Amino acid sequence: MNLVALFLLLIPLLPPASTEVVHTVVFVILNDDQTATVEVEDEGFLFAPPSFIQRDNVILTSWYQDENLTLWHDFDTPITRSMTLYSEWRYRGTSLSPATLRASEIGERFESETMTLYFDLYNPLAYQVRYQWQSARVGDQQFEDIGGATLSYFSPYRNGRFQYRLEYKVPLYNDANLVIGSIPYYTSPVIIDIYGQQTFLLPILMLTFVALVSLVYFFQRKRRIFFEVFGGQPLSPARFRVGEDTSLLPKARKKGFRFTGWYVDPQYEIPFKGMRMPLKSMRLYAKYTQKKNQSK
């Protein structure tokens, strides 16, 4: 028996060629960059779309067989051809449940500003949402706004154990698709213990106290007025607080001379006319005229 005859005898024993047809179903979210592909046997059923990443502020609409979202797809019908199905994100209604924050690290205790909390909103719609991070002590329901924390992410920096949440306001549309208001929502709070942040309140208070004490001391400390008498009877420096009356200064005495006044400069060009003590000590110079019955 030759090989050709042997092959002809074995042909009936070979399994029949497969005639199974597989269709490809592509799922596209129009206002997003996510897609998914599923293969289904001919006349098979795909009772639900594949899972997509969900966002807390939006839901997927129904699936349609056209990009204009007019030809609704019924998942109870069998798949007889390859196709592309389309959907889009839409805001949830007022029954939105609290959303969940996402942390950049796992744990409860972090060094200041090393861990970041994120809130994943649907990007094409997120620009219309207003954010405000809030904090409260553990067990306290009175949350307070954190100044300047108005982005979709936040790195806690306050030392201690606190709970944090995000208030986000979703725009409210009318039938003409115009924004007529907003609906506030809150994420579920998370409890985080922060350490390592320098607390500037105490140093600021201490510096303020020191500055006040220094200021009081500066104005209460008496300044001195030194007297240059040029051979006359020595005078001890006079002491005055800032702003005190200095009009009653002692007179210089010098034998054979008559005192004619105090001057600010030794050249006797600027007479001293001050009535209030300035901020710093000063030196005055005595001027004389010789008495007529005395010789120089």
Q: Which helix (H) or strand (E) holds 221?
A: none
Q: Which of 113, 120, 189, 186 lies closest to 152, judged by CA?
A: 120
- The reported pLDDT for the residue numbered 208 is 85
Domain 19-91, CATH? 2.60.40.4270
Task: Quote the CA–CA distance of 75 and 66 in Å, as a whole number.
Answer: 15
- The reported pLDDT for the residue numbered 284 is 93
- The reported pLDDT for the residue numbered 296 is 46
Q: Tell whether the torsion through CA atoms of 123, 126, 128 and 131 is positive or negative.
A: negative
pTM of this prediction exceeds 0.75: no
Out of 2.60.40, 3.30.460, 3.30.420, 2.40.128, the CATH code matching 102-195 is 2.60.40
| Residues of the chain where predicted confidence (pLDDT) is lower than 50 | 94-95, 296
Query: Exposed (0-12), middle (13-18) or buried (19+): which is 208, by Cβ within 10 Å?
Result: exposed
- The residues spanned by each domain of the chain are 19-91, 102-195, 223-290
**Domains 19-91 and 102-195 equal at CATH topology level:** yes
Task: Find out whether 196 and 111 touch, Cβ atoms under 8 Å.
Answer: yes
Out of 2.60.40.4270, 3.40.630.10, 3.40.50.1110, 3.40.1180.10, the CATH code matching 223-290 is 2.60.40.4270
- The reported pLDDT for the residue numbered 133 is 95
Strands 160-173 and 179-186, by their bridges, are antiparallel
